[in-house]
Structure 1
Amino acid sequence: MAQTNVTQLTEKNESEKGEEITIEEEDKLSEECKEFILSLPREKGWRTRYLYLFQGFWCQAREIQAIITFQKHFQAKDSDVIVATIPKSGTTWLKALSFAIVNRHRFAISISHPLLTSNPHELVPFLEYTVYGNAPSQFPNLSNMTEPRLFGTHIPFPSLSNSIKESNSRIIYICRNPLDTFVSSWIFLNKIKPEYLPELALEEAFDMYCKGIIGFGPTWNQMLGYWKESIARPSKILFLKYEDLKKDINFNVKRIAKFLGCPFTQEEENSGVVKSIMELCSFEKMKELEVNKSGTFGRNFHRGYLFRKAEIGDWVNYLSPKMAAKLSQIMEEKLRGSGLSF
């Protein structure tokens, strides 16, 4: 497998230090952050001109500034719940399930449930986008949030704030077969890229992905970080696979509730609470809600883009047998000896 040569990237970056960061990337960046970013290895991005190698993973310029601010200022509470994911691996679904499970006594499953009128990403905000995605001088006041507070993130485990790692807050992590994750990412990011950037061809995107160059990647590093920590601290991190969640949603909803310290009672199970949460958060239900079909979210991408197929194995419709074999071999090599496989 071709490896990204960090030394070469750094040398390349040194020769380009005089270049300005592109307009969309320098928007809302502090001067200090602009200077710092120019010192980082960079490669062509998927929906921005560049991705930068920061703390061992690839991300956009604005994400770097937000992550630094988050690392410095976020103070976790023991009751916090962090929904951590690889992009395009069931993030929206897991956020919805976590919110419904944790808040089932506050919000009964009815026509007025928040998930019927708000997108899951609004109810479980991203730390690196929604919470700390504004100007670095604007620190959000999180003290008045109802507990338990729920946050989402794509940040690899080593780069989470120390307060999260050292507190009794809990992390639910989900990942997905990289073959499906790649295809879903490629389709999604081509949809939300700015018009002035050309569409990223499948073959080029695949080559970048195999080199680990994708937001919050390399994918295998992100997986292994949470996987190893979940083994070392099972009361801290619940590690889920998208495929397992799809295969037995009933079992895993109860597993999530137990992990979060709010297990379902026998009475709740008998009265259909678990089933109601499963139906409320189902792909079919969420996709048809008006709040998830119209309007924009985050950095001006259409809400409907969050809901495509939610199928396992859709990669066969896009990847050649040779491409599938290459990525499968890479993942086997990267995960060998860890106990994690797909």
Structure 2
Amino acid sequence: MESIPKAMPAASPMEKHEDDDEDQFDEFYKKLPKKQVAGLMLAQHKGFWYDEPILHGVVTFQKHFESQDSDILLATMPKSGTTWLKALTFAIVNRSKSEHSISESPLLFQNPHQLVPFLELDLYRGGKLPDPNMMITRPRIFATHVPYQCLSDTLLSNDSKSPRIVYLCRNPLDAFTSLMHFFSQNGALPADDETSALEEYFGAFCEGFSIFGPFWDQILGYWDASLKNSNKVLFLHYEDLQRDTPSSVKKLAEFLGCGFSQQEENQGLVEGLIKLCSLENLKNLECNKEGDLHLVHTIKKSTYFRKGKVGDWVNFLTPSMAKRLEGLMTEKFAESGKNVV
């Protein structure tokens, strides 16, 4: 049975990584089951799949991250509305601060992924140990693609001091479609044979061999957690957020303990925040048009803002591909007692 290397003594706040941890990770990684998918080597850890750079961040954050009861964790599968959820949550939580008013919001000048950092892809990437005091604002807002079953012990404690977790679920048909466009735009698909790579990725995705997957196990992990601990884990659907954004935003704010007052609603603050965080607004801001984000991999900022439409998969997946994935969703989610997606 695989085990995570035991944590070493705490590093100084400014130290980026520990050499002993680095050596332990290398030995740990060598022993994991591997699967190659379209040129990408994935390793299995606790039933889920990661490439090596991402897994290094996952293991480091599992060992070293210490949550606070005021923390907020935003969780998603890749390309499931993560950027939108980050922007909305940041705007909701910070709306009472004068420097974060709609007209002066940091969202107008910084990419949402810079304001709400990923744990495994950013703060702890490559075994880095961030300064624990680097985020002095409260509440601290973090994001992750890591499955619920693989979060750190402090995030899974379920006591009064554990943070709030928000999970945004998106129909895997659209999530996969968005992911393939994202890969293509960032040069992660071989330009000379994109069709073949797409077919291989799709087959692997349906078999559970995808980064942070199997997708059904990740979705069901957060779904089950929300049923067992609804005051600490909120499960949202991307499709509901699109269909009735005001109601979903108010539900999110209530869960985070900062619901909108009647006065705020009368003043149009809900609509103002929604407009600020809309895809149309964010994609046209200069801070999101140019430049890169240096996470585990270098990502073009503009590629986080494509369409965001529900049902766009019909323009990308063949009928046979859609039938296979829909059948898989029906099979995997049947025992949940409800249509999870």
Q: 1:323 maps to what in 2?
A: 321
How far does the alpha carbon of each residue in 1:133-183 deviate from its partner, in whole angstroms, 9 at most, with x for none?
1444x3432365211000000000011111112233100100111111111
Aligned partners of 2:222 and 2:235 also within 8 Å: yes
Residue 167 (structure 2) pairs with residue 173 (structure 1): yes
Q: Distance in 2 between matches of 1:282 and 1:334?
A: 32
Note closer, same or farther for the CA distance 1:43–1:122 as it changes in structure 2 (3 Å cut): same
Residue 209 (structure 2) pairs with residue 218 (structure 1): no
Residue 136 (structure 2) pairs with residue 148 (structure 1): no
Residue 305 (structure 2) pairs with residue 313 (structure 1): no
Q: 1:40 maps to what in 2?
A: 32
Q: Secondary structure at the match of 1:96?
A: helix
Q: Distance in 1 between matches of 2:307 and 2:55?
A: 31
Residue 165 (structure 2) pairs with residue 191 (structure 1): no
Which residue type is aligned with residue 123 of structure 2? Answer: V
Which residue type is aligned with residue 115 of structure 1? Answer: L
Aligned partners of 2:190 and 2:197 also within 8 Å: no
Which residue type is aligned with residue 271 of structure 1? Answer: Q
CA drift of 1:201 comes to 2.4
Moved over 6 A (4+): 195-198
CA drift of 1:319 comes to 1.3
Residue 298 (structure 2) pairs with residue 300 (structure 1): yes
Q: Secondary structure at the match of 1:336?
A: helix
Note closer, same or farther for the CA distance 1:33–1:193 as it changes in structure 2 (3 Å cut): farther
**Residues 93-242 of structure 1 aligned to structure 2 (within 5 Å):** 93-106=84-97, 107-136=99-128, 138-142=129-133, 145-166=136-157, 167-193=161-187, 199=194, 201-242=197-238
Aligned partners of 2:288 and 2:301 also within 8 Å: yes
With normalisation by structure 1, the TM-score equals 0.87
Q: Distance in 1 between matches of 2:175 and 2:313?
A: 9
Q: Distance in 1 between matches of 2:189 and 2:211?
A: 19
CA drift of 1:44 comes to 1.9
Q: 1:21 maps to what in 2?
A: none
Structure 1 gaps, min length 5: 1-9, 11-28
Which residue type is aligned with residue 310 of structure 1? Answer: G
Q: 2:18 maps to what in 1?
A: none
Q: Distance in 1 between matches of 2:102 and 2:95?
A: 11
Q: 1:4 maps to what in 2?
A: none
How far does the alpha carbon of each residue in 1:190-225 deviate from its partner, in whole angstroms, 9 at most, with x for none?
332458896462211110110111110010000000
Q: 1:23 maps to what in 2?
A: none
**Among 260, 270, 287, the residue aligned to 1:264:** 260
Q: Please identify, of 157-166 and 76-85, the stretch whose mean Cα deviation from structure 2 is larger.
A: 157-166
Q: Please identify, of 202-211 and 82-91, the stretch whose mean Cα deviation from structure 2 is larger.
A: 202-211
Q: Please identify, of 152-161 and 183-192, the stretch whose mean Cα deviation from structure 2 is larger.
A: 183-192
Instruction: Count the aligned residue pairs.
Output: 314
With normalisation by structure 2, the TM-score equals 0.87
Q: Distance in 1 between matches of 2:184 and 2:201?
A: 10
Residue 271 (structure 2) pairs with residue 284 (structure 1): no
Q: Please identify, of 185-194 and 332-341, the stretch whose mean Cα deviation from structure 2 is larger.
A: 185-194
Q: Please identify, of 191-200 and 49-58, the stretch whose mean Cα deviation from structure 2 is larger.
A: 191-200
How far does the alpha carbon of each residue in 1:273-304 deviate from its partner, in whole angstroms, 9 at most, with x for none?
11110000001000101111100012322101
CA RMSD, Structure 1 to Structure 2 (Å): 2.1
Aligned partners of 1:109 and 1:277 also within 8 Å: no
Q: Secondary structure at the match of 2:162?
A: coil
Aligned partners of 1:51 and 1:59 also within 8 Å: yes
Aligned partners of 1:86 and 1:219 also within 8 Å: yes
Q: Distance in 1 between matches of 2:261 and 2:328?
A: 43
Which residue type is aligned with residue 162 of structure 2? Answer: N
**Among 247, 252, 255, the residue aligned to 2:248:** 252
Q: Distance in 2 between matches of 1:340 and 1:302?
A: 35
CA drift of 1:256 comes to 0.5
